[in-house]
């Protein structure tokens, strides 16, 4: 007893010994969360159910057990530390049993040694992974009429958007021109009140709106004047992703007096629940994200979209998949919630994924069939290409070219970077008016401190007939997107083309002995760039889309998990925007934006998953994922194998044959996914067995993070019944089994296997007949013939006599003994 008191005395002194302001930590505790608690504690009935539809989160058992866990968290902290020395932020009760707290480092060490504490992890930041696509994916004709009906696409399904909030007044979320929405008895989300307008954020389409910033506040990163302490989107990103997933159908996309088409979400009648965790200046914190996910599942969402991800694999656990973030998502899947997450924007380089675990559907980004090209015709007859999203110069006439460097009011203004054409007050309006203004493209455009929108505004204020922004120096990794403009304009991204333009301008401009221009004789006209050019080579894997292989630890060793899982449109996507959004300088003040990122790809899959959940309400998240993956396309619209955008040795963009590490199983095919024939299902226990089978895993660490225990039979990670096969270290022969379940009529399938010749692969049986609802096992044997040090790519094909085609991608690397 004396020793215990002494230990407590030392712990109470720790706040006085700690240094600095401390950090936020995430703690997991012994004891089951709500979704897993099967009873055993006196006075508290079991809360675990087979599915979320059976769980009543308002029941006495759920409420009392949640309060019990929260009380335990509070009691632990109060027993260790002085009340003023820490700040508890959240209690996590539903998906994981734990809490987040602001502590000193010394306190975190003491906490990690306390009875009942399983795991302590310092909080990390997360970041954003930043119209036409419903038609491109065949939704209006192939899916919407056969799902809930043409006007009921996603009806009564709730998609939870964990993002930067929403601009609720946008037409994409309006209810005044739609059929009335009925009640959602099983959804219990909250709707915050806007502190400025005192109005509710919800309207029937938006059924939940909450913000999570306690960890950000504790870390000192939150500025309420800038970041909005409400679900209001101050960034634009969250509004955009919400509209892609479930925005209203047929909303006109208007900018600068031109309509660029009509925007529709993937599941236009689905409801939206907003969980704001991302903020303008700093992104977000894992503690807040975990709290939002926990709340979303409690509220009863059907699908979660995560267009956010960590900055790197977790460094505090031996295994990538073992961390509070992925553990919360695993519990969400256990509760029947489908999770789509953006793959990341670190491409085209390998091992840049920020979405790792097999229970998550990781989405890569594709370039669809639209290209916004434009041309400028010079006075010497040369036609130069570039990017444009603007009208043509007036009456197809040519106008005089003037370079910004020749129209400066004073040479002393060079300190303001005037060549970017961001400030009209630095330029001579008399020399610019009625002419085409030629501007430079500095690193300021790359960093976001300069924008094409501002160039257009400058040209308009000065009365210019149009503008050209020309890239003179290449910036490796820069992605150039067309930007809508009211004034005729073009962005020339090729350095060689820019040189041709400058050479023509210099030859056509007369100068005096001091180099000052005396006569501008160069002329040009800008073509109409408002209409997109359609390409049959679509889709292509976008250059920025993160690539596999997946990694199993912070040392970036390959995992036996194929990632990404699937490809969806993510380049130049038109969707709703928050007018006060600051994420894209080119769209400040606008109601729509056309932006790119795997952030845009993930909500496509979330919306399509909502359509599938509507048609198959009893399907597990793994079943939906399987249907999406096994029916995906690996050919482009011209019938050729998919290609991926890459960088050449000279850092120019080129196309190369795409692999499963680029696109996973292929590009999503919604119509086929709604009728997959066969599925490969997996349960929560299967995922736990997967974690326990990881080489070198500590079973105690699995228990600490998930609360589940490993059994004695370990197996291999590739034994997980996933709709793909990945073996990173194939020594000799390995046999992998997959169980398929028939979700259609009785059908006979012929099974074939093919892979590059350095690996031998056989699948058995060669054929099988499966009754409705029945399951059968496929055995796949892989043997290393010779070691190449490279991955081999292949597939298992199951071709049914009723027209179903099921494809399971295979990646394997042969290794010596």
Measure the CA angle with vertex 111, ends 105 and 114; round to 5°: 155
**What pLDDT score does 55 carry?**
59
Give pTM, 2 decimals. 0.88
| Distance in angstroms (rounded) separating the CA atoms of residues 587 and 592 | 7
Contact 57, 298 (CB under 8 A): yes
* pLDDT tens column, 89-133: 999 998 889 999 999 999 999 999 999 998 888 888 877 665 334
| Residue 239 near residue 233, CB atoms below 8 Å | yes
What pLDDT, on the 0 to 100 scale, is given for residue 8? Answer: 26
Residue 628, sorted as left (phi over 0), alpha (psi -120 to 50) or beta, turns out to be alpha
- Residue 36 banded pLDDT, cuts 50, 70, 90: confident
Clarify whether 686 is annotated catalytic.
Answer: no
- The answer to whether 599 is a known catalytic residue is yes
The DSSP secondary-structure symbol of 718 reads: G
Nearest 5°: phi and psi at 426?
-95, -5
Which residues is 782 bridged to in the sheet?
Answer: 734, 761
Contact predicate 809/628, CB 8 Å: no
Backbone angles phi, psi at 246, to 5 degrees: -150, 25
Q: What is the DSSP string of 557-600?
A: PBPSS----EEEE-SSEEEE--TT--S-GGGTT-SEEEE-SHHH
Residue 235 confidence (pLDDT) above 70 = yes
Which token pair is 529?
Answer: 């760039």
The model's pLDDT over 762-781, given as tens digits with 9 standing for 90+, comes to 999 999 999 999 999 999 99
User: Which residues does residue 647 pair with via DSSP β-bridges, in sequence order?
Assistant: 653
pLDDT per residue as tens digits for the range 618-649: 999 999 999 999 999 999 988 999 999 988 87
Of 551, 608, 531, 162, the closest CA to residue 374 belongs to 531
pLDDT at 11 over 50: no
**DSSP string for 469-514:** EE--S--TT------B-SS-EEEE--HHHHHHHHHHHHHHEEE-TT
Question: Residue 438's CB: how many other CB atoms inside 10 A?
Answer: 26
pLDDT at 9: 27
Q: Which residues pair with 127 in a beta bridge?
A: 309
Catalytically annotated residue among 73, 91, 108, 163: 163
Higher per-residue pLDDT: 297 or 9: 297
Maximum average pLDDT range among 27-31, 359-363, 493-497: 359-363
**pLDDT tens readout for residues 567-598:** 999 998 999 999 888 778 888 888 899 888 99
CA dist 303 and 300 (Å) reads: 9
Lowest-pLDDT choice from 226-240, 464-478, 526-540, 661-675? 526-540
* CA gap 709, 692 in Å, rounded: 8
Give the Cα separation of 613 and 631 in Å (integer).
17
Cis status, amide bond into 564, omega within 30 of 0: yes
Spatial CB neighbours of 423, under 8 Å, sequence gap ≥ 6: 416, 458
- Average model confidence (pLDDT) for the chain? 87
Rounded to 10°, the helix 105-112/2-17 angle is 150
Q: What are phi and psi of 74, to 5 degrees?
A: -65, -40
Give the active site residue among 102, 132, 211, 237.
237
Q: In 32-81, which ranges are continuous DSSP H helix?
A: 60-80
pLDDT in tens, 777-802: 999 999 999 998 899 999 999 999 99
pLDDT digits (tens, 9 = 90+) for 450-490: 899 999 999 999 999 999 999 988 776 677 888 888 899 99
Determine what percent of the chain is predicted with pLDDT higher than 70. Answer: 91
Nearest to 637 by CA among 537, 566, 567, 569: 537
Whether the pLDDT of residue 19 is over 60: the answer is: no
Per-residue pLDDT, averaged over 203-208, amounts to 94
pLDDT at 51: 52
- Cβ atoms of residues 370 and 532 within 8 Å: yes
Task: Report yes or no: 338 and 624 within 8 Å, Cβ to Cβ.
Answer: yes
Instruction: List the catalytic residue out of 108, 230, 456, 599.
Output: 599
pLDDT above 80 for 202: yes
Q: Cα–Cα distance between 741 and 619 in angstroms, integer?
A: 12
List, in sequence order, every residue forming a beta bridge with 566; answer none if it has no partner.
363
Look-up: residue for tokens 């044997």? Answer: 781
- 816: CB partners within 8 A, 6+ apart: 731, 787
pLDDT of residue 407 exceeding 50, the answer is yes
Burial class (CB in 10 A: 0-12, 13-18, 19+), 817: exposed
370, 261 contact by CB (below 8 A): no
- Beta carbons of 736 and 780 less than 8 angstroms apart: yes
Taking only the tens place, the pLDDT of each residue in 289-338 is 999 999 999 999 999 999 887 766 666 667 888 888 898 999 999 989 99
| C-alpha closest to that of 227 among 277, 267, 192 | 277
Q: Regarding beta strands 373-378 and 383-387, do their DSSP bridges make them parallel or antiparallel, or are they unpaired?
A: antiparallel
Whether the pLDDT of residue 20 is over 80: the answer is no
- For 415, residues 6+ apart whose C-beta sits below 8 A from its C-beta are none
> 164, 173, 281: which is closest to 233 by C-alpha?
164
Calpha distance 380→360 (Å, rounded)? 56
Q: How many whole angstroms separate alpha carbon 794 and alpha carbon 660?
A: 9
How many Å apart are CA 61 and CA 41, to the nearest integer? Answer: 12
Residue 528 bridge partners (DSSP): none
Instruction: Look at residue 610 and tell me whether its pLDDT is greater than 70.
Output: yes
Assign 636 to helix, strand or coil. coil
Distance between first and last Cα of the chain: 56
775 three-class SS = strand
Segment holding 459, helix H or strand E:
helix 452-461
- Assess contact for 598 and 575: CB atoms under 8 A: no
Cβ atoms within 10 Å of 139's Cβ, excluding its own: 26
Paired strand residues for 678: 742
Please say if the pLDDT value at position 140 is more than 90: no
Q: How far apart are CA 595 and CA 249, in angstroms?
A: 19
Residue 419, C-beta contacts closer than 8 angstroms, at least 6 positions apart: 404, 405, 439, 440, 442
pLDDT at residue 316, as a whole number: 63
d(Cα 350, Cα 546) in Å, to the nearest integer?
7
Active site residue 237: yes
Would you tell me how many other CB atoms lie within 10 Å of the CB of residue 38? 9
DSSP labels for 354-397?
S---TTSEEEEEEE-SEE-EEEEEETTS-EEEEE-BSPPSGGG-
Helix (H, G, I), strand (E, B) or coil at 51: coil
CB–CB of 353/565 below 8 Å? Answer: no
- Using alpha carbons, list the distances in angstroms from residue 193 to 198, 421, 525: 6, 41, 52
């Amino acid at each position: 007893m004396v020793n215990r008191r002494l230990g407590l005395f030392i712990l109470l002194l720790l706040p006085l010994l700690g240094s600095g302001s401390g950090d936020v930590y995430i703690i997991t505790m012994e004891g089951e969360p709500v979704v897993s608690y099967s009873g055993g504690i006196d006075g508290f009935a079991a809360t675990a159910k087979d599915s979320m539809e059976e769980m009543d989160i308002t029941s006495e058992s759920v409420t009392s057990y949640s309060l019990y866990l929260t009380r335990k968290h509070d009691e632990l902290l109060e027993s260790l530390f002085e009340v003023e020395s820490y700040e508890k932020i959240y209690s996590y009760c539903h998906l994981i049993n734990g809490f987040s707290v602001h502590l000193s480092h010394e306190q975190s060490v003491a906490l990690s040694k306390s009875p009942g504490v399983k795991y302590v992890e310092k909080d990390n930041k997360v970041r954003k992974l930043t119209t036409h696509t419903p038609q491109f994916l065949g939704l209006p004709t192939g899916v919407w009429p056969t799902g809930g009906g043409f006007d009921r696409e996603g009806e009564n399904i709730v998609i939870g958007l964990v993002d930067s909030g929403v601009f609720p007044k946008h037409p994409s979320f309006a209810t005044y021109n739609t059929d009335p929405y009925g009640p959602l008895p099983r959804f219990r989300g909250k709707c915050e009140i806007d502190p400025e307008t005192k109005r509710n954020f919800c309207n029937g389409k938006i059924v939940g709106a909450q913000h999570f910033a306690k960890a950000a506040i504790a870390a000192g990163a939150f500025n309420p004047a800038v970041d909005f302490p409400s679900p209001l989107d101050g960034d634009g990103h969250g509004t955009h992703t919400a509209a892609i997933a479930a925005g209203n159908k047929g909303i006109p996309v208007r900018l600068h007096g031109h309509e660029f088409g009509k925007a529709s979400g993937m599941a236009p009648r689905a409801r939206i629940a907003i969980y704001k965790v991302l903020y303008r200046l700093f992104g977000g914190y894992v503690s807040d994200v975990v709290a939002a996910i926990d709340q979303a599942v409690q509220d009863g969402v059907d699908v979660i979209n995560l267009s956010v991800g960590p900055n790197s694999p977790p460094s505090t656990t031996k295994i990538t998949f073992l961390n509070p973030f992925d553990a919360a998502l695993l519990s969400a899947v256990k509760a029947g919630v489908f999770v789509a997450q953006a793959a990341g924007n670190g491409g085209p380089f390998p091992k840049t994924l920020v979405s790792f675990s097999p229970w998550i559907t990781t989405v890569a980004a594709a370039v669809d069939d639209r290209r916004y090209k434009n041309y400028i015709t010079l006075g010497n007859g040369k036609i130069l290409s570039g990017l444009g999203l603007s009208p043509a110069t007036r009456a197809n006439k040519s106008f005089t070219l003037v370079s910004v460097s020749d129209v400066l009011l004073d040479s002393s203004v060079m300190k303001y970077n005037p060549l970017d054409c961001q400030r009209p007050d630095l330029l001579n309006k008399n020399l610019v008016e009625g002419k085409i203004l030629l501007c430079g493209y500095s690193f300021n455009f790359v960093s976001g401190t300069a924008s094409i929108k501002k160039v257009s505004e400058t040209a308009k204020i000065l009365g210019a007939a149009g503008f050209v922004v020309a890239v003179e120096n290449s910036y490796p990794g820069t992605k150039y997107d067309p930007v809508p403009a009211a004034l005729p304009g073009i962005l020339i991204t090729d350095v060689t083309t820019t040189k041709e333009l400058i050479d023509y301008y210099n030859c056509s401009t007369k100068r005096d002995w001091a180099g000052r221009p005396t006569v501008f004789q160069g002329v040009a006209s800008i073509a109409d760039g408002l209409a997109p050019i359609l390409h049959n080579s679509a889709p292509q894997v976008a250059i920025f889309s993160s690539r596999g292989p997946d990694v199993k630890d912070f040392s970036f060793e390959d995992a036996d998990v194929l990632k990404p899982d699937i490809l969806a449109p993510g380049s130049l996507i038109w969707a709703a925007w928050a007018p006060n959004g600051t994420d894209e300088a080119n769209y400040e003040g606008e109601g729509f934006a056309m932006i790119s990122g795997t952030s845009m790809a993930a909500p496509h899959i979330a919306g399509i998953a909502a359509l599938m959940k509507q048609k198959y309400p009893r399907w597990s998240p793994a079943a939906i994922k399987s249907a999406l993956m096994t029916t995906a396309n690996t050919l482009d619209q011209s019938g050729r194998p998919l290609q991926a955008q890459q960088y050449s040795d000279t850092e120019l963009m080129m196309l190369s044959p795409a692999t499963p590490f680029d696109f996973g199983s292929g590009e999503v095919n919604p119509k086929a996914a709604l009728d997959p024939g066969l599925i490969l299902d997996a349960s929560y226990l299967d995922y736990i067995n997967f974690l326990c089978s990881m080489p070198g895993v500590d079973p105690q660490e699995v228990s600490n993070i998930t609360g589940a225990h490993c059994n004695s039979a370990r197996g291999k990670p590739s034994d997980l019944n996933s709709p793909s096969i990945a073996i990173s270290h194939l020594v000799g022969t390995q046999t992998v089994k997959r169980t398929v379940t028939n979700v259609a009529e009785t059908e006979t399938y012929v099974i074939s296997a093919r892979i590059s010749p350095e690996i031998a692969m056989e699948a058995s049986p060669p054929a099988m007949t499966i009754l409705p609802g029945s399951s059968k096992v496929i055995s796949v044997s892989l043997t290393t013939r010779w070691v190449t040090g490279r991955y081999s790519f292949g597939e298992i094909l199951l071709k049914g006599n009723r027209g179903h085609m099921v494809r399971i991608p295979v990646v394997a690397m042969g290794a010596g003994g």
